[in-house]
Amino acid sequence: MGKKITIDPMTRIEGHLKIEVEIEDGKVKNAWSSGTMARGFEALLLGKDPRDASYVTSRFCGVCYSVHQICSARALDAAFGANVPWGGNLIRNLVMGAEYIYDHLIHFYQLSALDYIDIMAVANYTGKDRDLLAVKDKIVGLVKANDTFPLTPRYKPDEFSVKDPDMVISAVSHYIKALKMNAKARNMGAIWGGRTPHYQNIVVGGVTSYPDINQVARFRTMLDEQKKFVEEVYIPDVLAFGTGPLWPLAKMGVGGGHYNYLAYGDFPKDQKGKNLVFPAGVIIGLNPANIKVDPFNPDDITEAVKYSWYRENKPVHPYKGEQVFDLDKKDAYSFVKAPRYKNNAMEVGPMARMIVAKNPTLLDLVSKGAKPGAVARHAARAIETKLIVDACYTWLDELLTEMTKPGFRIHDTEHWDPPESGMGSGFHEAPRGALGHWVKVKNKKIDNYQCVVPSTWNASPRCENGVRGQYEESLIGAPVPDPENPINVVRIIRSFDPCLACAIHIIDPNTNEIRKFMIE
């Protein structure tokens, strides 16, 4: 048996995550991921007015805020028989578009970039750019004052870390600028969303925010600024890093995993919702030379609980899911369930979406030798940010046209009151990946509520067939030459943009000992 190391807490993610890996000959041989916090929102919802669900489930996560709000509203739309007017869908698209831009920026710059650069290299900057010199002064000043929190302590930069002073200092200056830009993207969403995190305007049947022409103009002006940053800073940064110093990591395909991809598809381009910005589809066992995408069928989703702390049950569709804890279950090690698509563990998220969409920019990188993995995940995220920015312009134009038509509507008021009974599912491509909510209504109250969230797909434990989840599989073979410095492990996990609050239900009750990053 190799050396086993545990990273707990796994930071710069949403939620509480513990990663354990077994290392042999400098490589990850086996891996386990588990979450350590639970609230039990689904149980709370039972017996409640169904309309509460979109408000409550939004609070699953405040980083990817409102993704559950819209997903829940869509499930309720289906259960209530509501038909969201196109105006309502356009505003839903626009506020979620703003959320995407914020979310991908904060993930790349604030949550991930520091894993790839040696921030102290800014001290070696010899250029004359005044803004960059100010950044240098700031960091060197922190070092001199011996107070570089929260930038240190850190894992030691390794062979893949970017140490070129010019690249690092520009990345650090973009880190600071991105903080402002992602805050501004949130403000853009608040024009109709009310405030962030957690919009206030998405409800069953549509939205509550009746738009005016000044808001459209304001959104557009703010979008211009985001577009400029995405095109001139974010995408060039990702490409410069990915095809430059990180190219060896990209070519090795570190963090690849199962090569199975799932996208539910999202962002309707028309009222019927047939044309989507991100198409739906399934890929089992990617062959980059000949990408075969199968249609997505929601009926093929099951959730296994063999290694999860729930009462033993055979894999079932989410409509039939239950949440009865069994804390003493043998062999269980996580309270994340194990969702599978036709028995396959799947990856969801930006890379899955861009591969399913056969995005030419991503496929070009792949044809040049980048294997789908941690670096490609960052590239896919940047590529789709641009697609969303472009789509927002189209939606703004359409909203203007719609608004000026007589009888313009944003909400299906006729279906506002809960039905006696009904059931419905709602899907959303959240920034982190495919998200689904399933609701059953009985006597005008919630009778069952189940969610399968992106991080449940990605962070799942093994299923009854012993197949590892995507985080676990993607860690296998990752180089960890120094077990005290498992920087590649955190790079891989963070490339998925983990968001655990919604994926996790409870902690492994048998491992209450202090779980430090320890070598056993």
Q: Which residues are part of the catalytic machinery? A: 14, 61, 64, 68, 432, 455, 499, 502
Q: Which of residues 488-517 bind another protein (CB under 8 A)?
A: 490, 501, 506-507, 509, 511-517
If you search the block for the tokens 């049950």, which residue do you land on? 313
Considering the complex, state which of residue 48 and residue 311 has its C-beta at the smaller distance from another protein: 48
Chosen residue from 2, 197, 298, 477 binding another protein by CB under 8 A: 197
Determine, following the binding rule CB under 8 A, whether residue 477 of this chain makes contact with another protein.
no
Alpha carbon distances (Å) from 220 to 193, 225, 391, 399, 403: 15, 9, 12, 12, 16
- Rounded to a whole number of angstroms, the minimum distance from the CB of residue 84 to another protein is 12
Determine, following the binding rule CB under 8 A, whether residue 295 of this chain makes contact with another protein.
no
Instruction: Choose the binding region for another protein from 111-119, 282-290, 390-398, 423-431 (rule: CB under 8 A).
Output: 111-119
> Using CB atoms within 10 A of its CB, is residue 4 exposed (0-12), middle (13-18) or buried (19+)?
middle
Considering the complex, state which of residue 59 and residue 317 has its C-beta at the smaller distance from another protein: 59
Chosen residue from 153, 295, 406, 466 binding another protein by CB under 8 A: 153
Determine, following the binding rule CB under 8 A, whether residue 303 of this chain makes contact with another protein.
no
- Rounded to a whole number of angstroms, the minimum distance from the CB of residue 31 to another protein is 15
Chosen residue from 134, 176, 213, 217 binding another protein by CB under 8 A: 176
The answer to whether the CB of 14 falls within 8 A of the CB of 498 is: yes
Tokens of 226: 């985001």
Instruction: Count the Cβ atoms, other than its own, within 10 Å of residue 271.
Output: 13
- Rounded to a whole number of angstroms, the minimum distance from the CB of residue 244 to another protein is 21
Rounded Cα gap, residues 196 and 200, in angstroms: 8
Instruction: Choose the binding region for another protein from 197-205, 296-304, 382-390, 427-435 (rule: CB under 8 A).
Output: 197-205
Determine, following the binding rule CB under 8 A, whether residue 99 of this chain makes contact with another protein.
no
- Rounded to a whole number of angstroms, the minimum distance from the CB of residue 397 to another protein is 21
Report CA dihedral (85, 50, 55, 263) to the nearest 10 degrees.
Answer: -60
Closest to 398 in 3D by CA, of 182, 187, 97: 97
Determine, following the binding rule CB under 8 A, whether residue 123 of this chain makes contact with another protein.
yes
- Rounded to a whole number of angstroms, the minimum distance from the CB of residue 354 to another protein is 25
Tokens of 294: 């199968």
Chosen residue from 155, 333, 395, 449 binding another protein by CB under 8 A: 155
The answer to whether the CB of 295 falls within 8 A of the CB of 282 is: yes
Chosen residue from 2, 194, 298, 419 binding another protein by CB under 8 A: 194
Closest to 43 in 3D by CA, of 451, 473, 482: 451
Helices 374-403 and 487-495: crossing angle in degrees, nearest 10, is 20
Rounded Cα gap, residues 461 and 414, in angstroms: 43
Q: Which of residues 52-91 bind another protein (CB under 8 A)?
A: 52, 55-56, 59-63, 65, 85
Determine, following the binding rule CB under 8 A, whether residue 244 of this chain makes contact with another protein.
no
Rounded Cα gap, residues 103 and 105, in angstroms: 5
Question: Containing H/E element for 248?
Answer: helix 247-252
Q: Which of residues 19-48 bind another protein (CB under 8 A)?
A: 36-41, 43-44, 48
Considering the complex, state which of residue 413 and residue 465 has its C-beta at the smaller distance from another protein: 413
Instruction: Choose the binding region for another protein from 113-121, 274-282, 287-295, 369-377 (rule: CB under 8 A).
Output: 113-121
